[in-house]
Amino acid sequence: MKLLTTLGCGAIYAFTFFSNVQEDLSASISRGKELYKESCITCHLANGEGVKGTFPPLAKADFLTKYPEKSIYAVKFGMSGKITVNGVAYNNAMPPSGFGDDEIADVMNYIRNSFGNKNTQLVTEKMVAAIKEK
């Protein structure tokens, strides 16, 4: 009987925990969408496809999955120099967003779950704060 009670409590805890994570992710994505519209859409476009050879795509972007820390770094501190996204080389500059760590987390959650991207790992403000300027 104790085993059933323990398993039942564990199942309820797991359901509650994962439900909260999904709710947190959904809320973050919604906030990130608004920030994207304000600042990122100019270069990366409404569909996230960017401009080939000039502004890298965010749509189905392998860079976001291969290099999550570099992606956060780029939004937080900006980026210059050569990168390759989906097999295409880009060598342009991206200015820092000027966003706070919480806003960067929201934008990252939005782009990592939009434009054909699917990543359910929640990017948190704490993860963004851990990224330091080189």
CB atoms within 10 A of CB 119: 15
* Number of domains present in the structure of the chain: 1
Q: The whole model's pTM is what?
A: 0.83
Q: Give me the torsion for CA of 112, 86, 67, 96, rounded to 10°.
A: -70
CATH of the domain at 94: 1.10.760.10
pLDDT, tens digit, 9 for 90 and up, residues 84-122: 999 999 999 999 999 999 999 999 999 999 999 998 789
**Residue found under tokens 């939004």:** 75
In a domain, 63, yes or no: yes
Residues 85, 65 contacting (CB under 8 angstroms): no
For residue 9, being part of any structural domain is answered with: yes
Task: Decide if 81 is inside a domain.
Answer: yes
Which tens digits make up the pLDDT trace of 48-57? 999 999 999 9
Q: Is residue 95, in this structure, part of any structural domain at all?
A: yes
Whole domain around residue 48: which residue ranges? 2-129
pLDDT for the residue 19: 47
Domain-embedded: residue 89: yes
The torsion angles phi and psi of 131, rounded to 5 degrees, stand at -80, 115
- Report the alpha-carbon distance of residue 103 to residue 120 in Å, rounded: 18
Residue 92's SS3 state is strand
In a domain, 134, yes or no: no
Return the residue matching tokens 């797991």: 14
- Mean pLDDT over all residues of the chain? 89
